[in-house]
Amino acid sequence: MRERIIDLTYTMYGGMPVFPGDPPVSMEFCHTIDSAGFNVTQLTMPTHAGTHLDAPLHFLQDGKPVDALDLSACAGEAHLLDFTHRGNSLDEMTVEDFLRYDAVIRPGARLVVRTGWDRVFPSPAFFTEMPGISVDAARFLAERRIALIGLDMPSVHAKEYQVVHEILLGAGIVIVEWLTNLAAIETSPFYFVALPLKLQGRDGSPVRAVAIERA
């Protein structure tokens, strides 16, 4: 069996764009080969910079932290949903859009949504004008009890992000944001992996997200 691994993760670098108001990403050598005989980098970053995962604690005061998540949601068969027709500024993905994929939106499903919005990075508009999941569509997904939704936008909605997060996270749905390179996925379903760091009591984590195609 042949496997093809597709990297769906943004490269992290010091000074990369982050959400307005978030602290910057910084990468600085604290030891170098010249000073200590080895290189060690100090990394400073918010938990929701770059390709990352949202735990319920991100928006829910009593929600699960990232170290308490069931990792089975973060790795397994996933379905690619092509919503490139909703990939324009401030577009909304509706219940009707998701019903096009009704057969795969089942309890425990992992859904990866491609809008093509990653093409806008690193413009400031990437954060302020992104497409989003409508409130009604979020309720629909919550009712279907899916396990995970992955997005090529930096958040679930440009304006209604709080209520959409609360609906999805309140239903125990893991949210993976800032995916990229989804156009390289050739088959659906595929095997998806987006494992978080085990950060005690925290609201989210960077992930290395990949798609694995097997033929």
User: Is 87 domain-assigned?
Assistant: yes
Question: Total domain count for the chain?
Answer: 1
As annotated, the active-site residues are 58
CA distance 76 to 72: 7
| pLDDT score, position 2 | 85
User: Is 20 domain-assigned?
Assistant: no
Residue 154 · residue 178 · CB < 8 Å? yes
CATH code of the domain in which 172 resides: 3.50.30.50
Q: What is the pTM of this model?
A: 0.96
Give tens-digit pLDDT for 133-185: 999 999 999 999 999 999 999 999 999 999 999 999 999 999 999 999 999 99
User: Is 192 domain-assigned?
Assistant: yes
| pLDDT score, position 174 | 98
| pLDDT score, position 86 | 95
Question: In a structure prediction context, what are the per-residue pLDDT tens digits for the chain, which is 215 residues long?
Answer: 789 999 999 999 999 999 999 999 999 999 999 999 999 999 999 999 999 999 999 999 999 999 999 999 999 999 999 999 999 999 999 999 999 999 999 999 999 999 999 999 999 999 999 999 999 999 999 999 999 999 999 999 999 999 999 999 999 999 999 999 999 999 999 999 999 999 999 999 999 999 999 87
Angle, helices 161-170 vs 135-144, to 10°: value is: 10
Q: Which residues of 45-83 are buried (b: 16+ CB within 10 A; e: fewer)?
A: bbbbbbbbbbbbbbbeeebbbbeebeeebbbbebbbbbb
Residue 118 · residue 152 · CB < 8 Å? yes
Give tens-digit pLDDT for 50-60: 999 999 999 99
Beta-sheet pairing, 92-93 with 204-214: unpaired
**Torsions phi, psi for 69 (to 5 deg):** -70, 150
Q: Who's near 51: CB < 8 A, 6+ residues apart?
A: 8, 9, 10, 176, 177, 178, 179, 180, 194, 206, 207, 208, 209
CA distance 178 to 190: 19
CA distance 181 to 10: 9
Give me the domain span that covers residue 173.
3-9+47-214
User: Is 109 domain-assigned?
Assistant: yes
User: Is 113 domain-assigned?
Assistant: yes
Enumerate the H helices of the chain as residue ranges. 33-36, 95-99, 125-128, 135-144, 161-170
User: Is 68 domain-assigned?
Assistant: yes
User: Is 29 domain-assigned?
Assistant: no
User: Is 93 domain-assigned?
Assistant: yes
